[in-house]
Structure 1
Amino acid sequence: VGHGPATEEIDSDRQTVFTRLDRAMARRGLVEGLRRELLRADLHLTVPEYLVVTALVTLSGLAIGYLISRFWVSALVLAIGSALLPIIYVRWRQRRRVTAFNNQLESVLSLVVAAMRAGYSLLQSFDYVSRRLPDPAATHFARVVREVTLGLSMSDALENLLARTQSEDMELIVTAISIHDEVGGNLTVILDTVTHTIRERVRIKQEIRSLTSMQRGSAYILVALPFIVTGVLFVLSPDYMMRLFEPGPTLCIPFAALVCMALGFVLTRRIMDIEV
């Protein structure tokens, strides 16, 4: 208990250092893209904190690889794989968050339409949604309300929402609201039609996902298996594996294998990627 204030002071100093670094990098325009990616993944990290985590994970992979195999090439391979882990994690969180948001859009539109029919404005309807639904819809629409309250136009706030979510269904909603702002009309009727369209799209996407689940699993396994086997062989017998990387014709084998696996994975995903 006696260390509580000291611990809080250290945490505060750490936050201050990372916050200052983040602001300094932002002023030079170095972190905007990465900051947007972290925001889309709903990771409460500054860019310097994310870079430090990536560096620590990479160094850990390098150290573990060298301690296990006592061979620098194996250590470098594991370090490169470790460096990709934070990127893969961010992408995974983004996809999961977008999927969860898309699954909530039908409920979002139903609440918005009901609120507008009860006499609420569009902004008040978004505030109602942010208080009634769980994340991620609550967070996204609460931010829209906050941005409009601070002086941003509704169209700009919705464009920011679209940039954060990267959702095709949300793009349909934003387009419908923008057209209504320009030409007028009954927005509740328009949103009712959009709700029906999104409901059918979600249903068809779920059916397609169920029908292609086995093929997607096979694609991931076939791509991951060569890397797993190669990593195990590098750890168990690095001298044997290094013959593939000696100067000469054998050097073409690993590069050709990478190209073929990448092409096979892309083609498999293209076959299963059915637009709705």
Structure 2
Amino acid sequence: MAAPGTRAAIVSRREQVAKSLKEVEAKRNGTKVTLELKIARAGLSWTRSQFYMISAVLALVVGAGAFVMTGGPLVAAGAVFAGGLGLPLWILTFLRKRRIAAFIKELPTAIDIITRGVRAGIPVGDCFRIISREAEEPIRTEFRLVVEAQTLGLSLGEALVKMYERVPVSDVNFFGIVISIQAKSGGNLSEALSNLSRVLRERKKMAGKIQAMSMEAKASGGIIAALPFVVATLTYLTSPDYISLLWRTDIGKLALLGSAIWMSIGVFTMKKMINFDV
């Protein structure tokens, strides 16, 4: 049976951990996603004015290309809207996803470096500096920003909150929470980071297994989605007058619209069935 003093210490540590978790989550939930933050998440160094300038250039290029190809002012106006608003945001989203995937891939290795460094007696700050000099991108840049934030006076926990704002994934959240709790409540940091690294690697393995198991369903969905277009193309090449009724008559247009709706529902349903959060 534990002594009263030991039980009191355990209860006190649990209270400190709970308080630390609440503070960390409060800081993370209060983040507002601005345009500058979206650009930083994509790994770009653009300013707001540069983003607007690039958006204007893309709008002009896409609009001019659509006008030359179709000759319709309405189509060109829609292309200007899509090129000026949709395309730049799509580029940021694409770059953000690619950067996050690269970050998640290298994060367990960075955590292992910190774990071995702490066990060898190297301070956590020096471990971060080693990673900021020798790791792969984008890990190197993110840890360099953490080191620079500490140089400016932020605590390690606050600097990791900034990292989570730039890389908003659960892996970084777990990493920041572990560091923040250990800094405030004490404990074996190397053991906690080692467990976290193992968990992240197991999650990565599980995600790979799920992706491999869902490839058959993805292939089936792709074939089913492409089949109507293939059949329509072959029918148009062999009997153009027969299939042209679909876009020449009102009933045919309604049939195309209904088919597109039902096909979209089926594709999105299959996509939802084979997507899993690990």
Relative to the length of structure 2, the TM-score reads: 0.71
The equivalent of 1:23 in structure 2 is none
Hey, what's the Cα distance between the residues in 2 that align with 1:154 and 1:211?
40
Q: 1:263 to 1:155 in 2, by over 3 A?
A: farther
Give the drift of 1:162. 0.8
Hey, what's the Cα distance between the residues in 2 that align with 1:74 and 1:90?
25
The equivalent of 1:114 in structure 2 is 116
Hey, what's the Cα distance between the residues in 2 that align with 1:73 and 1:254?
23
Give the drift of 1:209. 2.3
Q: 1:133 to 1:46 in 2, by over 3 A?
A: same
Give the drift of 1:158. 0.5
The equivalent of 2:35 in structure 1 is 34
> How is 1:125-204 mapped onto 2 (pairs within 5 angstroms)?
125-204=127-206
Counterpart AA for 1:34:
L
Note if 1:61 corresponds to 2:62: yes
The equivalent of 1:6 in structure 2 is none
Hey, what's the Cα distance between the residues in 2 that align with 1:115 and 1:121?
7
Once superposed, what is the RMSD of the aligned Cα atoms? 3.2
Give the drift of 1:62. 1.5
Bigger-Rg structure (1/2): 2
Q: 1:211 to 1:184 in 2, by over 3 A?
A: same
Give the drift of 1:264. 5.0
How many residues align? The count is: 228
Give the drift of 1:128. 1.1
Give the drift of 1:268. 3.7
> How is 1:1-276 mapped onto 2 (pairs within 5 angstroms)?
33-83=34-84, 84-213=86-215, 215-216=217-218, 222=225, 266-276=268-278
Per-residue CA deviation, residues 119-155 of structure 1 (Å, 9 max, x unaligned), is 1111111111111211100000010011011101111
Q: SS state of the match for residue 34, structure 2? A: helix
Hey, what's the Cα distance between the residues in 2 that align with 1:40 and 1:50?
14
Structure 2 stretches of 5 or more lacking a match?
A: 1-31, 233-243
Give the drift of 1:75. 1.9
Percent identity, please.
23
Hey, what's the Cα distance between the residues in 1 that align with 2:59 and 2:216?
33
Q: SS state of the match for residue 73, structure 1? A: helix
Give the drift of 1:260. 6.0
Give the drift of 1:185. 0.9
Hey, what's the Cα distance between the residues in 1 that align with 2:61 and 2:55?
10
Counterpart AA for 2:276:
I
| Preserved contact between residue 106 and residue 136 of structure 2 (Cα < 8 Å) | no
Q: SS state of the match for residue 78, structure 1? A: helix
Counterpart AA for 1:165:
V
Hey, what's the Cα distance between the residues in 1 that align with 2:204 and 2:173?
15
Q: 1:257 to 1:34 in 2, by over 3 A?
A: farther
Per-residue CA deviation, residues 204-233 of structure 1 (Å, 9 max, x unaligned), is 11222233346557768959x99xx9xxxx
Q: 1:48 to 1:265 in 2, by over 3 A?
A: farther
Hey, what's the Cα distance between the residues in 1 that align with 2:210 and 2:165?
26
Counterpart AA for 1:103:
K
| Preserved contact between residue 111 and residue 197 of structure 2 (Cα < 8 Å) | yes
Counterpart AA for 2:76:
A
Hey, what's the Cα distance between the residues in 2 that align with 1:139 and 1:217?
37
Counterpart AA for 1:162:
Y
Counterpart AA for 1:204:
M
Q: 1:269 to 1:163 in 2, by over 3 A?
A: farther
| Preserved contact between residue 100 and residue 167 of structure 2 (Cα < 8 Å) | yes
Hey, what's the Cα distance between the residues in 2 that align with 1:249 and 1:150?
68
Per-residue CA deviation, residues 27-83 of structure 1 (Å, 9 max, x unaligned), is xxxx97011000010112111111111121112222111122211232234334433
The equivalent of 1:11 in structure 2 is none
